[in-house]
Amino acid sequence: MPPVVSNWCPDLLVGDTVSKPKAVVIGAGVGGLSSAAILAQTGNYDVTVYERMSFAGGRFTQHDHDGFQIPTGAVHMIPHGRKGPFAKLMLGKRRRGGLELGRHGVDFIPTTKFAGLLKDGKHYAANSVFGILPWFHLKNSLNMPRLLASRAKRPWENETVDGRTWLKRMFTDDFIDFLDAFSNFAISLRFDQMPASTVARMLQNSFWSDRPHVPKGGCKGVINGLRTDLKRNGARVKLSHEVTEILPGDAEESTKENRFCIGIRRRGRDSATWVGADAIVHNGGHPNLLDSLSDEFEVSEGVREQVANTQAVGGIGFVFDLDDKIPHRDSGVTMIPSLDRVGGYVIPTFSEPALAPEGRHMMITHQFVPDPSVKSEIDKGRNELYEAIPWLSDHGDELCVHTYHRNWPCNRAPQGAELPADIGVEGIRLVGDGVKGHGWMMVEGIAANVPDAVRDVCKSIDSGGSA
Amino acid sequence: MAEAFRERATPGIVPVLKSGLPHDRPVSEGTKLQVIDSLCVGCSYCLMACNDDALVVEGLCEVIEQNCTDCLRCLLWCPTGALIYS
């Protein structure tokens, strides 16, 4: 491992810094960029992010389509608002492990309501979790403390009870259906697909959290903030660069001082170049990591099997263009519990009007995918939406439908069956939606895992450097 | 880790990364934009990138050859490498 200053030569100069240990981040999703930002803020490492695609942000960004900021996956929502791990990581003070991205204009705007319910064509909205409870039988309110008191900070050992069966002991069916629709919207899974401890923890986290927030300028606002921060701290983000192989450092002469030798191929070029790395933060999912990792690194059969047996979670989302005359006037997530496929919808433009052209609104729906035939699933979802939302056909136009499956899923591992961030190779840690913290959903789960992964990687570099 | 729940999620196997696909500009005449169906997820990002109405996505992406101007904006947006130019 390289000492902090050694073999001084111009090749090793990066800006005004002298050869620092090299940290490479693979994948410029929100997990990868925030890991890179933490590493770069320390000032101790030479940080480079490689991204296969031509844009940064992965499923947490947006594309502009005639003034509509259409999300690539994350529905412009930060589920736990300012109290969740995501806000702590992005906006928190540096001494508390945050990135202080507020300096770069990153901000979160609260939704105008906590949550909503669409039942039999009628819309209800609540300002807090306590506003939801009166919609259902009193039994649910009385049993809420039982849910909150359940010990679920860690997954229960060898559990076989699914979330729905477990909740049935406490709550009425219509209340569970409402929560289930929320789970469908947020993480593309139903309660009967998840272990009870995950469901319990997820609901506890939601109960104690803030109302959902919309990032200012949409998801890309956060990504731009991260990129500005990276640039200021001397880190590079290389787009359209694909990782082909990860080898031990001594595989190539130029990288023999480093722990890893990474093959990087720029899109459109045939040959790969080799770059050295002392630590890797991988944001591209376990299957992709294992595929590029050389056999010289030992990964236990157990981990390989676990990865091979884990299926990514698919989802389908519609984006609608709405006029300003819609009767629905809030940006809270609205659940539609009665439907087979669709979980709910959100109209983030009531919090952040910049996400749509003036005088228009954008509605984003989400549904889980129980059947692999995507085309029929899209049709089912569309029919359900037009049937359940009475004003949709008069006030809305479908802009596009996004599907997420195969190598571009909603989540690379299902909530409750997350994969380990550590696959047993010293100096490599995974981040992203395959390795979420227990019970944290969406970006909150990604953010919950990032600080630990980065800390491990730093420790590994620092101990390697002194050896 | 809840082993019992691993297989309950959405059907559809996670494929291996198709690294090294020929992605970009033409090398010889006759090269055209094509879709690898096994990689396409039908996400519609290519549709949003295309200014020439050269793509349709209904379940999976299809190229309308006579409209395609080979600008390859779609290819840059494709998240899974399903669009190739060869």
Residue A157 lies in a domain: no
Residue A172 lies in a domain: no
Check pLDDT > 90 for residue A457.
Answer: yes
Residue A5 lies in a domain: no
Burial class (CB in 10 A: 0-12, 13-18, 19+), A97: middle
Give the pLDDT confidence of A216-228 residue by residue, as tens digits.
Answer: 999 999 999 999 9
Check pLDDT > 50 for residue A100.
Answer: yes
**Quick check: B16 contacting A, CB < 8 Å?**
yes
The CATH number for A418's domain is: 3.50.50.60
Give the pLDDT confidence of A192-201 residue by residue, as tens digits.
Answer: 999 999 999 9
Interface touch B41/A404, C-beta < 8 Å: yes
Check pLDDT > 60 for residue A93.
Answer: yes
Residue A35 lies in a domain: yes
Average pLDDT of span A357-369: 96
The predicted pLDDT at position B58 comes to: 85
- Name the least confident of A11-15, A50-54, A65-69, A457-461: A11-15
Check pLDDT > 80 for residue A332.
Answer: yes
- Name the least confident of A9-13, A361-365, A458-462: A9-13
Average pLDDT of span A335-352: 96
Check pLDDT > 80 for residue A464.
Answer: no
> What value does the mean pLDDT of chain A take?
92
Residue A179 to residues A84, A140, A156, A341, B14, Cα–Cα distance (Å): 19, 12, 21, 14, 28
Residues of B in contact with A267 (CB under 8 A): 23-24
Task: State whether residue A423 is helix, strand or coil.
Answer: coil
- In sequence order, which residues have a C-beta less than 8 Å from that of residue A310 and are 6 or more positions away? A286, A413, A414, A417, A419, A434, B6, B14
**Spatial distance between the Cα atoms of A83 and A70, rounded to a whole number of angstroms:** 26
Check pLDDT > 60 for residue B13.
Answer: no
Residue A211 lies in a domain: no
The predicted pLDDT at position B5 comes to: 54
Q: Angle at Cα A226 formed by Cα A220 and Cα A227, nearest 5°?
A: 90
Domain that holds residue A23: 10-60+222-310+413-466
**pLDDT band for position A12 (50/70/90)?**
very low
**Quick check: B64 contacting A, CB < 8 Å?**
no
Task: State whether residue B12 is helix, strand or coil.
Answer: coil
Instruction: Check: CB of residue A412 under 8 Å from CB of residue A434.
Output: yes
**Quick check: A134 contacting B, CB < 8 Å?**
no
Q: What percent of chain A has pLDDT over 90?
A: 87
- The pTM for the full model equals 0.91
In a 13 Å sphere around the CA of A452, the CA atoms on its Cβ side amount to 15
The predicted pLDDT at position B4 comes to: 55
Closest approach of chain B CAs to the CA of A194, in angstroms?
6
**Burial per residue of A86-96, b for 16 or more beta-carbon CB atoms within 10 angstroms, e otherwise:** bbbbbbbeeee
**pLDDT band for position A16 (50/70/90)?**
very low
Substitution target in A408, A411, A418 with the highest count of B β-carbons within 10 Å is A408
- In sequence order, which residues have a C-beta less than 8 Å from that of residue A275 and are 6 or more positions away? A22, A24, A48, A255, A261, A262, A264
**Spatial distance between the Cα atoms of A28 and A282, rounded to a whole number of angstroms:** 9
**pLDDT band for position B28 (50/70/90)?**
low
The predicted pLDDT at position A7 comes to: 42
Residues of A in contact with B43 (CB under 8 A): 402-404, 408
The predicted pLDDT at position A76 comes to: 95
- What residues 265-284 of chain A have any CB closer than 8 A to a CB of chain B? 265, 267-268, 284
Interface touch A407/B45, C-beta < 8 Å: no
Domains and CATH numbers, chain B: 23-85 (3.30.70.20)
Check pLDDT > 70 for residue B7.
Answer: no
The predicted pLDDT at position B10 comes to: 40
Give the pLDDT confidence of A260-289 residue by residue, as tens digits.
Answer: 999 998 876 778 899 999 999 999 999 999
Residue A70 lies in a domain: no
Count of domains in chain A? 1
The predicted pLDDT at position A266 comes to: 85
**Helix (H), strand (E) at residue A172:** none
Interface touch A311/B77, C-beta < 8 Å: no
**Helix (H), strand (E) at residue A35:** helix A30-42
Rounded CA Rg of chain B: 16
Average pLDDT of span A325-333: 94
**pLDDT band for position B3 (50/70/90)?**
low
The predicted pLDDT at position A54 comes to: 86
**Spatial distance between the Cα atoms of A349 and B18, rounded to a whole number of angstroms:** 37
Residues of B in contact with A310 (CB under 8 A): 6, 14
Higher pLDDT, A31 or A17: A31
Give the pLDDT confidence of B37-76 residue by residue, as tens digits.
Answer: 988 999 999 988 888 899 998 888 999 999 988 888 888 8
Residue A443 lies in a domain: yes
Check pLDDT > 70 for residue A17.
Answer: no
Average pLDDT of span A62-69: 91
- Name the least confident of A134-148, A184-198, A228-242, B24-38: B24-38
Give the pLDDT confidence of A149-208 residue by residue, as tens digits.
Answer: 999 999 998 889 999 999 999 999 999 999 999 999 999 999 999 999 999 999 999 999
**Spatial distance between the Cα atoms of A441 and A278, rounded to a whole number of angstroms:** 31
**Quick check: B53 contacting A, CB < 8 Å?**
no
Closest by CA to A167, choosing from A151, A186, A143, is A143
Closest approach of chain A CAs to the CA of B49, in angstroms?
8
Give the pLDDT confidence of A234-267 residue by residue, as tens digits.
Answer: 999 999 899 999 999 999 999 999 999 999 988 7
The predicted pLDDT at position A271 comes to: 80
- Can you read off the two tokens belonging to residue A364? 């984003």
**Spatial distance between the Cα atoms of B16 and A61, rounded to a whole number of angstroms:** 24
Residue A186 lies in a domain: no
Pick from A192, A401, A405: which is nearest to B12 by CB?
A405
**pLDDT band for position A18 (50/70/90)?**
low
- What residues 288-307 of chain A have any CB closer than 8 A to a CB of chain B? 288, 291-292, 306
The predicted pLDDT at position B11 comes to: 39
Residues of B in contact with A291 (CB under 8 A): 16-17, 19
**Spatial distance between the Cα atoms of A409 and B71, rounded to a whole number of angstroms:** 27
